[in-house]
Every structure is written in structure tokens, then in C-alpha cells.
Amino acid sequence: MTLEQLIMLINLVVPFIVLLSALLLPRLYARLPEQVQRTVQEVAHTAVLAVEQQFDGLPGEQKRQKAVDLIIAMLQAVGLKSMNPTLINAALEAAVRAMNQVEKPKP
């Protein structure tokens, strides 16, 4: 292989590697444990607020199940198909506690 051929090969391969990296790195980053935990926490917070808004009159256990179902659906939507139930429950409880600590405005 001549030097010219090697340079031409590098010129062809490098853009492909850069493109592949740009597409794969965000997916790989999203699967890092710390990032997954942060995503679950954010999703749980959103789910708790949404369930509280939509199903305010339901008993607590039914609202909890609605929140778990919503969390699972939202996580699956962002590509996290299989999630540890303990992590989901912990994030859910933390989100409920945070919501309850915020003073609700009086009518």
C-alpha cells in the first residue's frame, strides 16, 4: 500500500468513524449507571406530578400504581426497557416526598 492509498483510506474512514461515534455515544452515555439513575429520578418526578394532576381523587395505592405504570412507559420510551423495580420504587418515593414538601397554594 502506498502512502497515497493510505491517506485516501484514512480520508474515507475517519468521517465514517466520526459519524458512528456521534450516533452511538449518546446511547452509550445514557446507559451509564449514574445517568440512568438521574433519568429514573427525573421521570419519577414528572410521573408523580402528572398522576397527582390527573388522578387527584384516587386512593393513594391506585395513584402509586398509575405512577409506576407511567414511569415504566416513559423509561421504555427513552430506550430503558428493563429497569430494576427497587430503583423505580425508591425514585417514586423520593418524588412523592419532594412533592409533599412543597407547600400547595391555598384556594
pTM above 0.85, yes or no: no
* 105 pLDDT more than 90: no
* 17 pLDDT more than 90: no
The pLDDT value recorded for residue 18 is 81
* 16 pLDDT more than 90: no
Query: How far, in Å, are 11, 18, 26, 78 from residue 15 at the CA level?
Result: 7, 5, 18, 27
Domain range list for the chain: 1-30, 33-101
Number of neighbours of residue 1 by Cβ within 10 angstroms: 7
pLDDT digits (tens, 9 = 90+) for 19-61: 877 777 777 666 678 888 889 999 999 999 999 999 988 998 9
**Residues contacting 98, CB < 8 A, separation 6+:** 45
